[in-house]
Amino acid sequence: MKHSLPPLDSLKVFEAAARHLSFSLAADELCISKGAVSYQIQKLEQSIDCALFKRSVRQVYLTDAGQKLLLTTRRLFDDLNQTLGQLSPKDSEHDVTIGATTYVAMRWLSPRIASFSNQNADVSIVLQHSVNSQDYKLGDVDITIRWAACDGKRDRSRLLELPMPLYPVCSPGLLEKLGMANPTEFIERRLINEAPFSSVPLLCEDRPMDLWQAWYGGETLPLSNPRRIVADANVRTQAAIDGQGWTMADALMQAEIDRGELVAPFQHRLSGYGYHLLVSPGRYLSRKTQSLINWLLEHHQS
């Protein structure tokens, strides 16, 4: 329905000036100049063809029309504030939802959330770990962190890429059983496909792309090692520490390597993949969600 109401900015300025009976105080409250207040009031008076203030040297007073308009604008602004407050998700159990695997949540996200929460105690965060499920949808959460191919591009949904080259690791005990305890130099990639290495299981996810084959050299050089499916990356890591086989590591597994629980005897790295910080283009992002996104973008390397 078309209306002939004056501009909202003019009504806001009028309400502040009428409440204070001062153009100067209204200017201070609204963070604008006194001249801007005078301009908006004059614009409003011209719009409704009616004087709203009586002006003297040091004071302004409301006319009868001004008093009537003040009562109406204050009531309308109060109603508007109440409605907007009802629309705001203040009563939800959480403020921000993040979709991430337990592996990424523990090793990359958790310390950053801890730092963020130290300065933003009023923001509650809930993690959802079904990010690799076929039923998972970006629009069901505020922020998603998901593993995918990296091409260096950013768009409305992909806010950040964290490239993570992949490489095989195993326990020192397993390497010793293979006759290569504590190698002083990197060993050749081809050896993983030869005895005794070829009998060692390759721990992997159930995904269409064979990362082990991609690391080894593509489809032209088939790997004969048996595959063992372990869906959770943290479980795969522990299985490798326990000597159950090789697993693909990235930079988030550096702590186990530094502690000597895992070793990385191959120099070759599979690049072009990593973790993406994603949002759904059609989902509304609250101020709290946006503040967390900004924090992650600023501190993703810390």
Residue range 184-232, pLDDT digits in tens:
788 899 999 999 999 999 999 988 888 999 999 876 778 989 999 999 9
Average pLDDT estimate for 159-166: 95
pLDDT in tens, 47-99: 899 999 998 877 888 999 999 999 999 898 888 877 876 666 554 556 899 99
Average pLDDT estimate for 235-253: 97
Q: Where in the chain is the domain with CATH 3.40.190.10?
A: 96-165+275-299, 167-270
Residue 237 pLDDT level (bands cut at 50, 70, 90): very high
What is the torsional sign of CA 146, 149, 150, 156? negative
The CATH number assigned to the domain with range 8-87 reads 1.10.10.10
Residue 3 is predicted with a pLDDT of 65
1 pLDDT higher than 60: no
Out of 3.20.20.70, 3.90.1150.10, 3.40.190.10, 1.10.10.10, the CATH code matching 167-270 is 3.40.190.10
153 pLDDT higher than 50: yes
Residue 156 is predicted with a pLDDT of 81
The CATH number assigned to the domain with range 96-165+275-299 reads 3.40.190.10
Residue 250 is predicted with a pLDDT of 96
pTM over 0.85: no
Residue 91 is predicted with a pLDDT of 44
Residue 2 is predicted with a pLDDT of 59
Mean pLDDT of the chain: 89
Average pLDDT estimate for 114-122: 93
> Which residues in 69-94 are b (16+ Cβ under 10 Å) and which e?
bbeebeeeeeeeeeeeeeeeeeeeee
What percentage of residues in the chain have a pLDDT greater than 70?
Answer: 95
Average pLDDT estimate for 143-147: 94
Q: Where in the chain is the domain with CATH 1.10.10.10?
A: 8-87
Listed ranges 124-138, 239-253, 276-290; the one with the highest mean pLDDT? 239-253
